[in-house]
Amino acid sequence: MNNNIKEKKGYGSFFSHIDSEFFKDFPNSFIPKNNKLFYSGRHAIKYIIENINKINKVNIIWVPEYYCQHVTHWLKQNYNNIKFYEVKPANNSYIIDGSNFLKENDIILINNFWGTSECLINYTEKNFQIVEDHSHGWLSKSCIESNADFCFASLRKSVPTPLGGIAWIPNGDKLGVIEVNGSDYFKNIWTNISNAMLKKQEFEKKEGIDEDLKKEFLELVYDAENKMHNNYDLFEIDTKHKVILKEYLKHNYLDFKKNNFEKIVKLINQNNKFSILNNDTTPFGLTLLFQNIIELNEFKEYLIFHSVYPSLLWPNNSIKYGYFLNIHVDYRYNNLDIEYIASVINNYFQKQ
């Protein structure tokens, strides 16, 4: 088995520091007009909701029944008018039947599941607002060609910056003016995650495993994540951080994922344990759907043992949707890495 990833101490969690010059041959032509940048996707969606609420008092905010548990919790801490609707995250052509539940002055949050969703909805009367979340589908077709009333994305899922969120109106209109805070709270979080990214870069370059250095950058990230989860204020992004974010937004990170996804799908042997969410044009990653959580957890532990670090999408959701595991295939991976990951997957299921 190729030990290429072991030598790099494993990937899969947050990005290490990388200069934007690395992506100079991968330009991004999609920068939404009149967008507004934030430190997080949560700030972006709150900004949108507050803009809508300023014009017409919002009735119900409808959130997908299957959704990121952290964002769901955060929204419920901010708003007491949250309700949930059924989705089909594995069906990219699923049509939400809005006519069954949407009322006047409602907001419906539609999630672009891992860049595969077409974000379809039907309704009888358009007297509500559609807000699309493209956090896991940045630069996907549904993101670029959206006809929603508002869109937002958490950028740090795809863009290698410490933090980042964006809100925009697809028709190019400007977002309204809502009061935001200007304290150093999120400036400090940015600084800490930036330091963690630099430490991780150093860690990856070192010979052998520096456990102390690893502990340092992980503690910085865990502390920053905890502070983000437990803060519900709306913050303005600092000017110098906005400049950095704009620089990284000039690049197309999806091309790397697309190429690696196409390669790894061809290498993985068929098995009866999971299905692949097969979208070869706009993948967030190699997303696998399991029906058994025990089998998923055993497989996940095996991957981690072999220095492949997947992410569970998402815990604490209804079991009726199954269990989704994402294996990263972004710009950090070359052909040898992809071959290694595929061999780890195939070897595991050959032993079953």
How many Cα neighbours within 13 Å face the side chain of 88?
11
Q: What is the pLDDT of residue 43?
A: 96
Q: What is the pLDDT of residue 178?
A: 86
Confidence of residue 344 (pLDDT cuts 50, 70, 90): very high
Q: What is the mean pLDDT of the chain?
A: 92
Q: Is the pLDDT of residue 32 over 60?
A: yes
Give which of 259, 230, 186 is closest to 73, Cα–Cα.
230
Confidence of residue 132 (pLDDT cuts 50, 70, 90): very high
Q: What is the pLDDT of residue 1?
A: 45
Question: pTM value?
Answer: 0.94
| H/E run at residue 286 | strand 286-290
Q: What is the pLDDT of residue 335?
A: 93
Give which of 121, 157, 122 is closest to 139, Cα–Cα.
157
Q: Is the pLDDT of residue 57 over 50?
A: yes
Dihedral sign for Cα atoms in the order 163, 169, 173, 179: negative
Tokens of 59: 């009735």
Confidence of residue 7 (pLDDT cuts 50, 70, 90): low
**Residues paired with 247 in a beta bridge:** none
Buried b (16+ CB within 10 A) or exposed e, 34-67: ebbbbbbbbbbbbbbbbbbeeeeebbbbbbbbbb
Q: Which of 3-7, 37-41, 161-165, 348-352 has the lowest mean pLDDT?
A: 3-7
* Residue listed under structure tokens 């700030």: 43
Tokens of 305: 């043992």
Confidence of residue 350 (pLDDT cuts 50, 70, 90): confident
CA distances to 146, 164, 181, 254, 322 from 280, rounded to whole Å, are 19, 26, 41, 11, 22
Confidence of residue 207 (pLDDT cuts 50, 70, 90): confident
| H/E run at residue 213 | helix 211-229
- Please write the tens of the pLDDT for every residue from 135-156: 999 999 999 999 999 999 999 9
What mean pLDDT do residues 97-105 have?
97
Q: What is the pLDDT of residue 2?
A: 47
What mean pLDDT do residues 236-255 have?
95
Q: What is the pLDDT of residue 280?
A: 65
Q: What is the pLDDT of residue 180?
A: 86
- Please write the tens of the pLDDT for every residue from 255-301: 999 999 999 999 999 888 899 987 667 789 999 999 999 999 999 99
Of residues 270 and 320, which shows the higher confidence score? 320
